[in-house]
A and B are shown apart, each in its own frame.
Chain A
Amino acid sequence: MKIAGLIVVLLCGCLLIYGTVDFPEWGDPASPASTHVSPYYIETTMEDTSVPNIVTAVLADYRGYDTMFETIVIFCAGIACIFLLRTYTHQAPETRLYRHIPTGIILRIKKGGKLPEDSTDFERVDLQWVPYDLIIKTACRVVVPFVQLFALYVIAHGHHSPGGGFQGGVILGATLILYAISHDLRTTIKRMSEKAVILLSAAGVFIYASTGALCLLFGVNYLDYSGLAAILGVDPVSARSHGILIVEIGVGVAVMAVMVSLYYNLSSVGKQDEGL
C-alpha cells in the first residue's frame, strides 16, 4: 500500500514538474498573469472605488460574487456542523459536578440524583474539571476586550490596511473561543447563546446577499454598489467604497458566528454543555 501510494505520488509529482518547465520565471513582471487582467485592477481601483487596498477592492467589488459564495461556504460549514453533531434529545442527566459557590465545595451528583439547576448558590462545573486557575482567567479577561477591539478595527480598516471582514471575523470569533477556553463553555454560551449564534450567522450572510439584491431595485446589476448611491447620499465612487464596508461587516458577523458555532459543536460533540 505504501509503495503503491509512493508510486502514485511520484507520478503525480513528475507530471507537475513536467508542467513547470514552461512556466514563466518566478517573479517575472512580464508574465501573462501580471500583464493580462491585473493591471486594470491596479490602475483603476482608486478611480472606481477609492479603496487603496487593491485586494479588498477586488475581493469585495470586482469579484464580490466569489466572496459572497466564500461566505456562503463558511455558513454552510456552520450549518453542516450543527446538522451533523448537535444532539437535541435530552438524555437522563449523567453524573454532574456542582460547586457550591459560598463554600467552594464540589458536589458529585450521580445519575438520577436531584440537580440544583436553578439555584444561584450552585455553579455547574465540567466533569474533567480544572481547578480555578487565577492567572489564565484574569489574563484572558484583561486581554479579551482589546482583542475584540482590534478585530473590529481590522474589519473597519480593511480599506486602508490588510484585513477586512473575514480576518476580523475570525479574530472576533477567536476571542470568544479564548473566553471559552479560559473559563468554560457554559459561561460562554450564557454570554452568547446558540440561538444568537445561528441568528447572527444567517444575518451576516443576509447582509451581504441583500446588499446585492438592493442594487437590483435601482436597476443595476447584482452587487453593483454604485446603485446604492441614492440611498447613501454620496457619489457612485464613494457608494462603492461604502458598499464594500457594509459587505465586509456582513462577512465579519457571519464568520464570527460560524467560528463560534463550530467551536461549540466540535468541543462538546454537539451537547453544548462542557467543552475543551
Chain B
Amino acid sequence: MSPLLEVEDLHVEIPLPHGTLHAVRGVSLTADAGEAVGLVGESGSGKSLTLRALLGLLPQPARISSGRIVLDGVDVTALPARERRRRLTGAMGMVFQDSLTALNPVMRVGAQIAEAPRRKLGMSAAQAKARAVELMERVGIPDPERRYRAYPHELSGGMRQRICIAIALSGRPRLILADEPTTALDVTIQAQVLGVVESLRRAEGVGLILVSHDLAVVSETCRRIYVMYAGRVVESGPILDVLSAPRHPYSFALLRSVPDPDAPVHRLLTIPGQPPDLMETAAGCSFAPRCLFAADACREQDPPLVALPGDRATACLRHEEADRWSDLVAGLATVEEV
C-alpha cells in the first residue's frame, strides 16, 4: 500500500534582494493514512515552510525550486496549478500557530467553518450550518449554536484555536497539517487542545503532521518523528526509538538541553553557538560547528541521510559511535565539576 502523502527531495528557496535563502534543502518524508507524524526543529530549520509547501501555501516570495509531492500515488507537482490545488486542499486541512490572525476578523466564526462545506462539498446553506455547529461541538466548544455568531475577537485563545481545528476539519480532509498549533497557548489550554486533536484523530482516522519546536508535545502526540536542522531532515524514525536512543548529535544534545519537569538534572547540556545563516552554504555538515562530537571529516563532507534498521535514518557520519555519546558527555560533566 502506498502512503497517503510522500514528499521527495523538496527544496524551497526565498529570493531576497541580497541573495537567495535556501530554506528547505532536500526534505523527504511520508505520512500514512491515519498516522500522526511529528516535524521538530527550531526557528529557521525550515519545518514550517516544508509544511506550507505541502499545501501550496508558501508565503510570498518563497517557492518550491525542486522536489516531488506525491498524493495517493499521484505526483501532484506535475499537475496544472488549478488541479494541484484542488487535490491538495481536498485531502488536507491546516491549523496555524496564531489563531487570532488566522481567522478573518470581520467574519463570524460559524460562517468561516461553514464555508468549505458550502463551497467545496456542495452542501446547502442549512446543511453547511448544521455541519459547522456539529464540528464546533466536536472540538469541544460549549453552546455552539450561540458561538456560531461570534466574531474571532470575542473568543478566548483556546476557543479560537478550536475554531481553527474545526475549519481544518470542515472540508473532510484525510490529513491535518498543524503548524505549532499550541505554542501561543497556556499549558493548561495546550493540554486541552492537544487532547481534542488526539481524540479527533482517533475517532475520524484523520492523519496528522504536527510541526513543533517542543519535543515533549510531539512525543505525546506522534508515532513517528522527523528532526530538522538548517533546512534538512537530520534524523527520523519511530518516536520512542529516536527519543530513547538518538542517532544524531543534534537530537541527542537537544534532548539533554531541555529540562524535564519530572526529573531536574544537576546541569543542562548546552549546545554552543547558534543555527547557521542559510544565506551561505558552507562545506560539511551544517551542525558541525556546534557539534560536540564533530571530527575533521564532518567539516569537509556533507553527510547523506542514511537508512538504519528499524525504519530509522540519520544524517551523521559518526552515527555508529552514538552509543558512546552518553558516556562521553557524562564523563565531561564530572570533569567540569571538579
A and B from one assembly?
A: no
Which residues of B come within 8 Å of A, CB atoms?
none
